Amino acid sequence: MKLKVKISKTFIVTIVIIAIIAGMICAVLFELVDVGNVLEWMKWFIFSAFFIIVLALLGAIFIGLFLGHRTLSVGGFTPFEKSMLEMKEDIKKVGERLEKIEEKLSK
């Protein structure tokens, strides 16, 4: 069975930006690019750190929302589910009544 998952454009853009930042850091570390200006390097470093912090906060918020929803929704049934369960019981009672009527008529 093949699962189809639609990847959002935001996720792709985020991955591309992180890859570019990681590539720049690796290029500087392996001295493939000359870091002529320290201020330029500091700007890129601050931008990278800010971007990663923003992504970490967003991820933490979404994980918190997910966990909060999971823990709070474990409680009782919703009103709709309760009404469906009551309807199931009503249908069961009607079925039992019909069986009794069939037994009386067949005698």
> Does the pLDDT of residue 56 top 90, yes or no?
yes
- Assess whether 50 and 97 both reside in one domain: no
> Does the pLDDT of residue 33 top 80, yes or no?
no
Based on the structure, what is the number of domains in the chain?
A: 2
- Assess whether 20 and 70 both reside in one domain: yes
Quote the domain boundaries for residue 98.
76-107
- Assess whether 87 and 107 both reside in one domain: yes
Which residue intervals of 30-107 are DSSP H helices?
A: 38-72, 79-106
**pLDDT confidence tier of residue 15, bands split at 50, 70 and 90:** very high
pLDDT score for 29: 84
Q: How far apart are CA 53 and CA 56, in angstroms?
A: 5
Burial class (CB in 10 A: 0-12, 13-18, 19+), 28: middle
- Assess whether 36 and 69 both reside in one domain: yes
* Residue scoring higher pLDDT (28 or 88): 88
3 within a domain of the structure (yes/no) = no
| CA 33 to the chain's CA centroid | 39
- Residue for token pair 């930006």: 17
**pLDDT confidence tier of residue 89, bands split at 50, 70 and 90:** very high
- Assess whether 64 and 23 both reside in one domain: yes
Q: What is the mean pLDDT of the chain?
A: 86
